Structure 1
Amino acid sequence: MNKKRILYVEDDETLAFLTADNLEQYFDVVHCSNGSAAFELFCKEVFDLCVLDIMLPDMDGFEIATEIRKRNKEIPIIFLSAKTMKEDRIKGLKLGADDYLVKPYSIEELILKIEIFLNRSQKNIEKSKMTYILGSFEFEFENYSLKNDKKQITLTEREASLLKLFLDNVNTVLKREKILTSLWGNDDYFSGRSLDVFISRLRKILKEEASVKIENIPRVGFKMVID
């Protein structure tokens, strides 16, 4: 079985050697010692998880994570840091990290965390390949395809992601802020206006499907109802 590929970014040579040596027993580890090189590598190659030190030359771990999340919202990210400040931990998690380990950390704990997040990521991938049923339509998220006996529609990536979010939360109120941060990464004015446009597009596509509705919940958000 192919080993999962880990991008490991750490500028301390001794710590990097010891950590990578242990991780390589279980994973395919690619080590970088500075931030800009790591991000350049991330853009060129495929990884299953990122382990990022925060204090790095050239480009710190927070900056790398911010850029990674612009391109990939799903890949697990684990921060490593000598910083114990609660504010740093909160900042890391707000940037989309899955966990934050404080140095000196246990190699066993790091390996366990990696395995947990890789398993969760794999389940999310498998879930994304599912076919959803909404009325007479079948929706294949992986292919952005929405089809029934009469027509087939290819959605945009954002439309497909929005529809999947609704279908994963049928009959549940989704706050605008949750939708915006999940799909756009922020909840500013312009993202909010974009969301309204995409909601209108989905409603137009599904208007002939009487059993499917996207309801406005005033001053809160939206709810997809499927009878």
Structure 2
Amino acid sequence: MSRIVNILLVEDDLNLGFLLVEFLELKGFAVKLYRDGLTAFTGFQNGHFDFCILDVMLPKMDGFTLAKKMKILNPQIPIIFLTARSLKEDKMKGYEIGVDDYITKPFDEDELFYKITAILNRSHLSKGTSENTFQIGRFQFDFQNQSLEIDGQKRRLTERESTILKFLCLNKNNVIRREQILTAIWGENDYFAGRSLDVFISKLRKYFSPDPSITIENIPKVGFILQD
């Protein structure tokens, strides 16, 4: 993500709200905290937000009503519910509104971070207005057709190779974190998915070997950076 992501957070537990604001800001997000649904909706109408995290049980306007109103104004806005309840009926109601995911309290903050980045990356890759062709050194990469071409010679990439390469291209000359790729593509950030990602990165480096100006640098324990 090349710009700061603005998150609207609605949590009536002030202690938890402040802890989440501090955690998310340390992760590089800009966060605006609201304590009730009505004030949050006014803030949503008047501000610009890329992502919403809503408690379900809120004063003045509950999370379901708030999410529904937000989706009317912006059907594409990603939303995660925080809830102390794990009833199937509640989850079905949220998914019908268009909520992207649920996290049941108490929860691990890293789990929230991985879910946010996975949803944002899926959203970014699926946007019809996003780029699908990229110039990388002497190579032309066509994401939609899964092809990599240099000097008239074309290589067909696998779907996973293409998706990983698009992540790198969208963040060219900037570090993209391993967990962002892993959670968005594999759906998890574990040892085996990590090893698989390393294999795909090695393949991509080999494909780019005809142009020595192109590098995919590994930043240990952080991520990768594509440069040309």
TM-score, length-scaled by structure 1:
0.55
> Aligned partners of 2:73 and 2:126: how far apart in 1?
17
The offset of 1:122, in angstroms, is: 1.6
CA root-mean-square deviation: 1.5
Instruction: Work out the CA distance in 1 between the residues paired with 2:50 and 2:30.
Output: 10
Aligned to 2:19: 18
How far the C-alpha of 1:117 sits from its partner, in A, is 0.9
Q: Which amino acid aligns with 2:102?
A: Y
1:49 matches 2:59: no
Kindly state the Cα deviation for residue 130 of structure 1 after the two structures are TM-superposed: 6.9
Structure 1 portions without partners, runs of 5+: 132-227
Shift of 1:129: 5.3
Name the SS of the counterpart of 1:51 in structure 2.
strand
Read off the aligned partner of 1:15 and give its amino acid letter: L
Q: Secondary structure of the residue that 2:33 maps to in structure 1?
A: strand
Question: Under a length normalisation based on structure 2, what TM-score does the superposition of the two structures give?
Answer: 0.55
1:84 Cα deviation from its structure 2 partner: 1.5
Q: Measure how far apart 1:119 and its partner are.
A: 1.1
Deviation digits for residues 44-85 of structure 1 (CA, Å, limit 9, x no counterpart): 111111000000000011011000111111111000000111
Specify the alignment match of 2:79 in structure 1.
77
- Contact 1:93/1:100 (8 A) holds in 2: no
| Amino acid in the other structure paired with 1:32 | Y
Are residues 1:105 and 2:107 paired? yes
Structure 2: 5+ residue stretches without partners: 133-228
Q: Which amino acid aligns with 1:8?
A: L
Deviations, residues 76-128 of structure 1 (Å, cap 9, x unaligned): 10000001111111111111000011100110000000111111222233x23
Find the aligned partners of 1:72 and 1:25 in 2 and give their Cα distance: 27
For residue 18 of structure 2, what is the amino acid of its counterpart?
F
Which residues of 2 match residues 199-218 of structure 1 at below 5 A?
A: none
The count of corresponding residues between Structure 1 and Structure 2 is 130
Q: Please identify runs of 4+ aligned residues in structure 1 that moved more than 6 A.
A: none
Q: In 2, Cα distance between the equivalents of 1:17 and 1:122? A: 28
Quote the sequence identity (%): 44
